[in-house]
Amino acid sequence: MNWYVQNGKESDVIFSSRVRLSRNVKGYPFKTRCADEELKEIYNKLKEITPLIGYNLKFLSMQDMDELTKQSLVEKHIISPDFAKTKMPYTAIIINDEENICIMVNEEDHIKLQVFTSGLDIDNILNLAIEIDEKLEELVPYSYHQKYGYLTACPTNVGTGLKVSTLVHVPGLEMTGNLSKILNVINGLGMNVRGVYGEGTKAEGAIYQISNNQTLGITEKEIAKNLNLITQKIIEQERVARKYLSKNSVKLEDKVYRDYGILTNAKRLSEEEAIELLSSVKLGTDLGIIKELTDKKVSELILYTKPANIQKRLGKKLSILNQEIARCEIIKQIVKED
C-alpha cells in the first residue's frame, strides 16, 4: 500500500512529511545555464547509475510520460507542478514502486532527492534521505563549497540543501478563528507557510504546507528538530481548538454530518467543493463523530477525487462535467468498500 493512503503518526492533524535534498553535479552549470548537451550528459549519467543506488528505484523519462500521469504525481505531492509542465528535454524521475522515494532529474537543480511518509515521521525519513544521498554522492560528485556547503540554483537552498515539510490539516483553528494568528507565529519563527502544492499555491480544505526557510549555517538535524517542534505545537493547538468545538457537540455533529450527507449523495461535485466537504468529514471521522469512515478511506477519497487521479482510476480522459459526475460515483464506491 502506497504511503499516501496509509495512516501515520498524528495523522488526525498531519497528512504527510517530506524531506527534500537539492544537489547539483560537480563540473556543470546550474540547470538554467546548462546547454542541452550538458543536460543530456547529466541525464544519461543518472540513468546509468540508477540500478547501483538500490531501493528498487526505476528511471522514468518525463518525455515518455503522458500528461495525466504527470498530473497524478503532482496530486500525490510526488513532483512539483512546474516540473509536470516542463517541456524541456532530458528530465526524468527516479522512483520506487511504493513512491515514497522520488528523485527529480533536471528540475530546478540537477538532483532533487525526496523521501515521503504519511503522518509525522521526520527523523526516520531524514535518515533514509541521508543514506540515499551518501550512496548517490559516491556515484556522482556534487557541487560543494567549503564555506557555503552544497551549491544550489536557488540561494535559499544553499548550505544543507535541505527542505523539510509537513502537510497539516487545521480545520479546528480555522473554525475557531485562530488560524491566522497561529500562521503568523509560524512565519515569525523562521518557517514558511504555503498552499497544498508549495510556493505560489493556495490552501485547500484547511490544509497547509509548513517548511523550513533556513538552510545555511544550520545542520540537517537542527532543521528537522525545529520543524518537529513547530509541528508538535500546531498539533497541540489544533487539538485544543477541536476540544473547544466539541463542547457544542450538536452544532459540530450537525455540520460534519450535513457535509457527509452532501458528499455521499451529490450527483456532481467540483474539485473545490469536494475538498471542502472532505476536510469537514475528516474532522468528523477523526473525532469519532462519523463512524461510517476510517482515516484510510478519507485519504483515498482525498486522492481519488482529484482530476487526474479520477481519470487514471477510470482509464480515460473526461470533460470537467463528467469528472464532477465521476467524482460522486467514486466517492460512493470508496465509502461502500469493506
**Percentage of the chain with pLDDT > 90?**
87
Q: What are phi and psi of 79, to 5 degrees?
A: -125, 160
Identify the bridge partners of residue 95 per DSSP, sorted by sequence position: 58, 102
- Ordered structural domains, the chain, with CATH: 3-240 (3.30.590.10), 248-336 (no CATH)
Helix (H), strand (E) at residue 113: strand 111-118
The whole-number pLDDT of residue 197 equals 75
Which residues, in sequence order, are CB contacts of 268 under 8 Å at separation 6+?
Answer: 321, 324, 325, 327, 328
Tell me: pLDDT of 164 over 90.
yes
Residue with cell 546509468: 48
Confidence of residue 200 (pLDDT cuts 50, 70, 90): low
Average pLDDT, the chain: 95
Identify the bridge partners of residue 142 per DSSP, sorted by sequence position: 25
Q: How far apart are CA 81 and CA 140, in angstroms?
A: 27
Confidence of residue 202 (pLDDT cuts 50, 70, 90): confident
Tell me: pLDDT of 201 over 90.
no
Tell me: pLDDT of 58 over 70.
yes
Mean pLDDT of 315-321: 97
Tell me: pLDDT of 199 over 70.
no
Contact (CB, 8 A) for 28 and 39: no
The whole-number pLDDT of residue 312 equals 97
Contact (CB, 8 A) for 18 and 77: yes
Q: How far apart are CA 303 and CA 166, in angstroms?
A: 17
Mean pLDDT of 246-261: 96
Residue 74 vs residues 31, 33, 141, 169, 200: alpha-carbon distances, Å: 21, 26, 29, 19, 14
Q: Measuring CA to CA, which residue among 172, 223, 204, 143 is closest to residue 12?
A: 172
Tell me: pLDDT of 203 over 80.
no
The whole-number pLDDT of residue 189 equals 84
DSSP secondary structure letters along 186-242: HHHTTEEEEBTTBTT---BTTEEEEEE---SSS-HHHHHHHHHHHHHHHHHHHHHHH
216-234 pLDDT tens trace: 899 999 999 999 999 999 9
